[in-house]
Amino acid sequence: MIVAAAESIRVAPLGVRDPLGNPLFEQALARSYLIFDAYVSGERRVDLHPILLSATQHQEAVTCAITTAKLISQIAALAHQDAAEARCYGFSDDVRRLAAASWSAHDRYSLYRVDLLWGEDGFRACEINADCPGGHNEALGLPLLSQAAGFWSGVNPTTVVDKLCDALIELSRGEGAIALIYATAYAEDLQVCALIHRELQRRGVAALLASPTALRRKGKGLCIGKQKVSVLYRYFPTEYMEGQRNLTDILEAVATGSVRTLSNFAEIFTQSKLAFARAHVHQTSLSPTEREGLRFVPVTYAVSDVSEEQLHAERPKWVLKRALGRVGEEVFVGSLLSDEDWIRVLAQAKQEHAQGEAWIVQAFVPQRPIWTPFGPRLLTLGAYVLNGRFCGYFARLTPDSHASHNALCLPVFVRSEPEKEP
């Protein structure tokens, strides 16, 4: 249940009550921005009503995202310097080899989406999607369609697709095609890669859509068919690479620098939510500036480091997460579960963690609702950070504290003028 609070962030009205009820707008979702899954279980998961941030809120969100990204990436880097630290994450040999290949080749291009919660005392970062973050189609299309529906009272701060294409072209150096690698079993993955493919083609850049199984060795590098590949845009999770029959070919091409990647395989350590727990473990060795970044990060522990008795007694205070869980899966908010369900999922998490599948518990962040035309909602604000620079938002609204595949996606704008006093 959401408790009313003073409005801080709001969703602005549009002149049209439901622009997506117009077939032209609904068609534009699919044709112009390749959003083919606008409904989940009969409920629309996208809307054109704009979330409005003040200039101050925008700057606070950017600061939180960049500071957190820098801190967690530094913590993740420790795993490349210490074998014992790396083992804490519970990754398979294949995953560690891929990460080591990128790290040794100084393959450093990264795209993060830092997920921020609007809490009682400002933004807090609950996780970082660093391995293959999504939301590109909505981030590009929803603000433009909102403007087409008549909203022009704010600035669109999102440039993630444009900046991502710039980075891929820079990485390619004109030495071969950009391969957009995705998991063929997932429609969303194809939507993201098809969008990037189209944008690259518009720039006259050679790009290929393929499963990672299509990659073959060519000399020291890789090819798809007869086409040499210079860059992998990887929308295929690192942990899915385990056991791939062409893994050795990919490893050698990455390790020698013959093929460059975005995001690089080493970011699997940043992706793991366990890195948040390791940040608290290592806090005494951080510099004062680095420790300052911890104020944006909820207290987080490996599930093995907190007693079952404490977690049972303090259920509403904790959120249980699989370290490599994706799209909101394997996230259990204690305050939303019964005692019985909490005991069950906690026992499962403890068992899997002991077997090498890392789980964490994170302090619950009380959120302030934002007011919308469809009632109060809670905001998860994904802030994109490309090579350390902010490049846009992917926003989701939910009626409770768990943002998953059925969250409502909205465009984000920054107010172009200060609000007038009432």
335-354, pLDDT tens digit by residue?
Answer: 999 999 999 999 999 999 99
Q: Is residue 4 part of a domain?
A: no
Give a yes or no: residue 396 inside a domain: yes
225 lies in the same domain as 311? no
pLDDT for 373 equals 86
Under the banding of pLDDT at 50, 70 and 90, the label for residue 2 is very low
How many other β-carbons are positioned within 10 Å of the β-carbon of residue 6?
A: 7
User: Has residue 193 been placed in a domain?
Assistant: yes
- One domain, residues 337 and 401: no
What residues contact residue 323 under an 8 Å CB cut-off, 6+ apart? 89, 90, 272, 273, 274, 357, 358, 359, 360
Q: Are residues 312 and 358 in the same domain?
A: yes
Is residue 293 in some structural domain? no
420 in any annotated domain? no
Band of pLDDT at residue 417, cut at 50, 70 and 90: low
353 shares its domain with 387 = no
Spell 65-104 as b/e; 16+ CB within 10 A means b.
Answer: bbbbbebbbbbbebbbeeeebbebbbbeebbbbbbbbbbe
In a domain, 278, yes or no: no
Is pLDDT above 90 for 187?
no
Residue after which a domain boundary falls, among 344, 363, 382? 363
Within this chain, do residues 311 and 227 fall inside the same structural domain, yes or no?
A: no
Same domain, 317 and 374: no
Backbone φ and ψ of 32, nearest 5°: -90, -30
pLDDT tens across 84-115, in order?
999 999 999 999 999 999 999 999 999 999 99
| Residue 16's pLDDT band (cuts 50, 70, 90) | confident
The span from the CA of 87 to the CA of 82, in Å, is 9
> At 3, is the pLDDT very low, low, confident or very high (cuts 50, 70, 90)?
very low
pLDDT at position 250: 96
Q: Is residue 319 part of a domain?
A: yes
Tens digit of each residue's pLDDT (9 = 90 or more) over 120-162:
889 999 999 999 999 999 999 999 999 999 999 899 999 999 9
Tokens matching residue 188: 């969303």
Residue 422 lies in a domain: no
Spatial CB neighbours of 49, under 8 Å, sequence gap ≥ 6: 11, 12, 13, 14, 146, 372, 373, 410
Domain range for 114? 11-271+368-415
Question: Cβ neighbours of residue 125 under 8 Å, at least 6 residues apart?
Answer: 64, 65, 68, 114, 115, 116, 117, 296, 297
**What pLDDT does 401 receive?**
67
Distance CA 409, CA 406 (A): 9
179, 210 Cβ separation under 8 angstroms = yes
Instruction: Note the pLDDT of residue 185.
Output: 86
Structural domain ending residue among the three candidates 363, 383, 407: 363
Are residues 169 and 90 part of one domain?
yes
Report d(CA 299, CA 292) in Å as an integer.
Answer: 14
User: Mean of the per-residue pLDDT values for the chain?
Assistant: 92
Q: Are 165 and 111 in contact (CB under 8 A)?
A: no
Residue-level pLDDT at 402: 66
Q: Which two tokens stand for residue 79?
A: 């795993």
Cβ-contact 421, 345 below 8 angstroms: no
Q: Are residues 326 and 385 in the same domain?
A: no
For 177, the token pair is 């095609």
Q: Examine the fold and report which residue of 347, 363, 379 is the final residue of a domain before the chain moves on.
A: 363
Question: Helices 187-202 and 136-148 sit at what angle, rounded to 10 degrees?
Answer: 70
Q: Would the pLDDT of 406 be above 90?
A: no
Per-residue model confidence as pLDDT tens digits over 235-274: 999 999 998 999 999 999 999 999 999 999 999 999 999 9
Q: What percent of the chain has pLDDT over 70?
A: 95
- 371 to each of 10, 28, 51, 82, 408, how far by Cα in Å? 5, 27, 10, 47, 14
Q: Cα separation of 77 and 85, whole Å? A: 10
Same domain, 342 and 410: no
Tens digits of residue pLDDT in 28-51: 999 999 998 888 777 889 999 999
Between 209 and 219, residue with greater pLDDT: 209
User: Based on the domain organization, do 408 and 351 belong to the same domain?
Assistant: no
Residue 1: per-residue pLDDT: 33
Q: Does the pTM of the predicted model rise above 0.85? A: yes
Helix (H) or strand (E) holding 390, with range, is strand 389-398
What's the confidence (pLDDT) of residue 326? 83
Do 119 and 262 belong together in one domain?
Answer: yes
Q: How confident is the model at residue 186 (pLDDT cuts 50, 70, 90)?
A: confident
* Number of independent structural domains in the chain: 2
Structure confidence by residue, pLDDT tens digits, 272-306: 999 999 999 999 888 888 888 899 999 999 999 99
Q: Tell whether 144 and 78 lie within a shared domain.
A: yes
For the chain, give the percent of residues with pLDDT over 90: 79
Q: Is the pLDDT of residue 169 over 80?
A: yes
Cα–Cα dist 212/329, whole Å = 24
What gap in Å lies between CA 9 and CA 272, rounded to an integer? 30
**Phi, psi (5° rounding) for residue 391?**
-145, 25
